[in-house]
C-alpha cells in the first residue's frame, strides 16, 4: 500500500510542479540568461553523444535489416526500415534516454544538493520561488532543444545506415536507392510523430527529475539516491509514455 501511495504522491507533486512552472512562464524574459544556460546544457553539450549514438544505432539497424533481408530479396527497403524506425521510435526514445542519463541526473543531483544544503530554503526565505528560477527555465529549454536534438539524431542515424548499407558486402545498396525508398514511402508526418514524442519525453524527464530533486530529504546519501531514483523513474516513464503517445499519434 505504501509504495502505491508514494507513487500517487509523486504523480501529484509532479503535476503541481508543472502547474507552478506554467504559472511562472510569463517571467521567462527575466530568466533569459538561465534559459540560455539550460539550452546550452541540454542541447549543445548533449549533441556529441546524441550524434555518436544515433550514428551507430542507424548503422546497426541497417546491418541487422541487411542480414535479415539477405535471403529475402528487397534490400532497398532497408532505407525505409531505418528511416521509419529512427524517425518514429529510436531517435526520440534514445535522445530521451540520453537526456535522462546525462541531463536528468545532473538536474536531480543539483536540485537535491540545493535542497539538502538548504539553498532552496534560502531562496524561499528571500521570497524567490525556486520553481521560477530553477524549474521553469529548464522546462522551456528542453521543449526548445528536444526537436533540434531529435532531428539531428534522425539525420545522423539515416546517414549511418546509408554508409553501412553501401559499404557492407552482403547489402551493397547505393545511397540513392536507400534514400529513394525512404522518400517514396515516408512523409514528414513520420518525422513529426517522432518530434512530438521526443518533446513529450523530454518535458516529462526534466519535470520528474526536478520534482525528485526538490523533494529530497536528508543528507548527502539521499542526493545519490535521488539521482538514481530520478534516472530510473525517467526511463520507466519514457517507455510507458512511449506506448501511449505512439497509440495516440497512430
Partner 1 sequence: MNNAQQTARVGLFFLLGIALIWVTFETLSGGKVFQDKGYQLIAGFESLKELKEGDEVRMAGVKIGEVLHTRLAGRHAEAVLRIGSQFRVKNDATATIVMAGLIGTNYIGIDLGSRDAPDLVAGAEIRTKNTPDINSVMSEIGQLSQKLEGALGNLGTALGDDPNKPGIIQKIDTLLTENREKIGGTLANIQQITDKVNKGEGTLGRLVSDPKLHDELVSTIEEIKRSATEAKTMIASAQAIVDQVKTGQGPVGTLIYDQKAGDDLKTTIANLRSVSDKIARGEGTLGKLLNDDTMLRDTQAIIKKVDRTLDGLDDTGPISAVGAVANGLF
- Contact between 145 and partner 1 per CB under 8 A: yes
CA distance 22 to 203: 12
Site for partner 1 in 219-238 (CB under 8 A): none
CA distance 231 to 93: 14
- Contact between 190 and partner 1 per CB under 8 A: yes
- Contact between 188 and partner 1 per CB under 8 A: yes
- What cell was used for 112? 537535491
Give yes or no for a contact between 165 and 63, defined as CB atoms under 8 angstroms apart.
no
* Binding-site member from 16, 19, 30, 40 for partner 1 (CB under 8 A): 40
CA distance 119 to 204: 24
* Binding-site member from 147, 157, 160, 161 for partner 1 (CB under 8 A): 147
How long is the chain?
250
Region from 43-51, 96-104, 124-132, 239-247 binding partner 1, contact rule CB under 8 A: 43-51
- Contact between 191 and partner 1 per CB under 8 A: yes
- Contact between 152 and partner 1 per CB under 8 A: yes
The neighbour count for residue 117, using CB atoms within 10 Å, is 13
Between 46 and 59, CB nearer to partner 1: 46
CA distance 122 to 103: 24
CA distance 133 to 27: 9
Region from 57-65, 100-108, 127-135, 179-187 binding partner 1, contact rule CB under 8 A: 179-187
The neighbour count for residue 77, using CB atoms within 10 Å, is 20
- Pattern of binders to partner 1 over 95-134, x per CB under 8 A? ----------------------------------------
CA distance 16 to 101: 24
Binding site for partner 1 (CB under 8 A): 33, 36-37, 39-40, 43-44, 47, 74, 144-145, 147-149, 151-152, 154-155, 183, 186-191, 195
Amino acid at each position: 500500500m505504501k509504495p502505491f501511495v508514494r507513487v500517487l504522491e509523486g504523480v501529484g507533486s509532479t503535476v503541481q510542479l508543472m502547474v507552478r512552472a506554467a504559472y511562472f512562464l510569463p517571467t521567462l524574459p527575466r530568466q533569459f540568461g538561465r534559459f540560455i544556460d539550460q539550452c546550452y546544457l541540454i542541447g549543445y553539450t548533449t549533441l556529441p553523444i546524441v550524434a555518436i549514438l544515433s550514428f551507430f544505432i542507424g548503422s546497426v539497424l541497417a546491418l541487422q535489416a541487411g542480414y535479415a533481408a539477405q535471403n529475402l530479396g528487397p534490400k532497398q527497403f532497408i532505407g525505409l526500415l531505418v528511416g521509419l524506425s529512427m524517425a518514429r521510435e529510436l531517435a526520440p526514445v534514445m535522445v530521451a534516454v540520453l537526456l535522462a542519463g546525462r541531463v536528468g541526473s545532473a538536474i536531480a543531483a543539483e536540485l537535491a544538493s540545493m535542497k539538502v544544503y538548504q539553498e532552496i530554503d534560502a531562496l524561499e526565505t528571500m521570497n524567490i520561488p525556486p520553481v521560477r528560477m530553477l524549474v521553469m527555465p529548464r522546462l522551456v529549454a528542453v521543449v526548445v532543444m528536444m526537436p533540434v536534438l531529435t532531428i539531428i539524431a534522425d539525420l545522423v542515424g539515416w546517414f549511418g545506415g546509408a554508409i553501412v548499407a553501401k559499404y557492407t558486402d552482403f547489402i551493397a545498396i547505393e545511397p540513392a536507392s536507400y534514400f529513394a525508398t525512404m522518400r517514396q514511402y515516408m512523409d514528414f508526418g513520420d518525422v513529426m510523430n517522432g518530434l512530438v514524442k521526443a518533446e513529450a519525453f523530454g518535458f516529462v524527464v526534466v519535470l520528474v527529475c526536478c520534482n525528485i530533486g526538490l523533494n529530497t530529504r536528508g543528507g548527502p546519501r539521499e542526493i545519490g539516491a535521488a539521482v538514481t531514483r530520478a534516472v530510473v523513474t525517467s526511463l520507466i516513464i519514457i517507455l510507458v509514455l512511449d506506448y501511449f503517445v505512439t497509440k495516440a499519434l497512430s
